Amino acid sequence: MRGGTRTPVIAGVVMAVLVVVAFLFVVSPKRAQVSQAETVLEDARAQEFTLRAQVASLKQAEAEAPANRKIIRRVEQQLPPTADPQGFILLLKNAADKAGVDLTQQTIGTPTAGANGVTTIPITVSLTGTYFSQDEYLFQLETLPRAAKVVDISMAPAGTAGATTSSGQLTMQVTMELYTTDISAGPGSDPGPTEGTVTTPTG
């Protein structure tokens, strides 16, 4: 009887051991593999989300490229990479023709390089005309294709000292600043800054 009773007990113990062994060597590794696979899947989904965002950003940049190129061209026109003060003087002369004033003198000062990479070139122009034509000239300066800032204006009656005029002509001197990203236009640059000032009378 005792031998018959032990047999089921031993069989039960053996089955329990087999279950434990199966869990340790089969089920547990499978669980680890499943957990690892889930981690890989989550990483792949995160990477896919990142790639989708990058693709959307690239498509948006591609769609905005024409507009951005126009902005860049406009900025380069207003803030050119070369100083070209003589070209700016030509713009001033064209503005004078549109306004109906006579430019009598232009003075180009010494360029000054700024810490922000923008060089400032002072320019002073003298002109004669009526009050309204000079007002129109100032408006023309505001609409120039190249960036410039008027910093000082002085006006006086035209003619010699003590003389009177009935023509309504006035003289005006305008001091303005011209800007460029040309780093060779300022002090300490290579080949070096402009020496002194250049005055160009208009005959």
Last residue in a domain, options 34, 63, 78:
78
Please indicate, yes or no, whether residues 7 and 72 belong to a single structural domain of this protein: yes
Average pLDDT, the chain: 76
Please indicate, yes or no, whether residues 59 and 143 belong to a single structural domain of this protein: no
Please indicate, yes or no, whether residues 96 and 195 belong to a single structural domain of this protein: yes
Query: 174 with 127: CB under 8 angstroms?
Result: yes
Tens digits of residue pLDDT in 121-137:
999 999 999 999 999 99
Please indicate, yes or no, whether residues 115 and 38 belong to a single structural domain of this protein: no
Last residue in a domain, options 14, 47, 78:
78
CATH number, domain with residue 169: 3.30.70.60
Query: 105 with 179: CB under 8 angstroms?
Result: no
| High-pLDDT (> 90) share of the chain, % | 26
Cα dihedral 55/58/60/66 (nearest 10): -150
| Closest of 32, 45, 44, 195 to residue 109, by C-alpha | 195
Please indicate, yes or no, whether residues 118 and 167 belong to a single structural domain of this protein: yes
pLDDT > 80? residue 156 = yes
Please indicate, yes or no, whether residues 63 and 133 belong to a single structural domain of this protein: no
Q: What's the domain range around 93?
A: 85-201
Please indicate, yes or no, whether residues 190 and 127 belong to a single structural domain of this protein: yes
Please indicate, yes or no, whether residues 178 and 92 belong to a single structural domain of this protein: yes
Tens digits of residue pLDDT in 67-88:
777 766 766 666 788 888 888 8
Last residue in a domain, options 48, 78, 108:
78
Please indicate, yes or no, whether residues 111 and 195 belong to a single structural domain of this protein: yes
Please indicate, yes or no, whether residues 61 and 129 belong to a single structural domain of this protein: no
pLDDT value of position 22: 60
What's the mean pLDDT in 96-116?
89
Number of structural domains in the chain: 2
Please indicate, yes or no, whether residues 90 and 74 belong to a single structural domain of this protein: no
Please indicate, yes or no, whether residues 176 and 125 belong to a single structural domain of this protein: yes
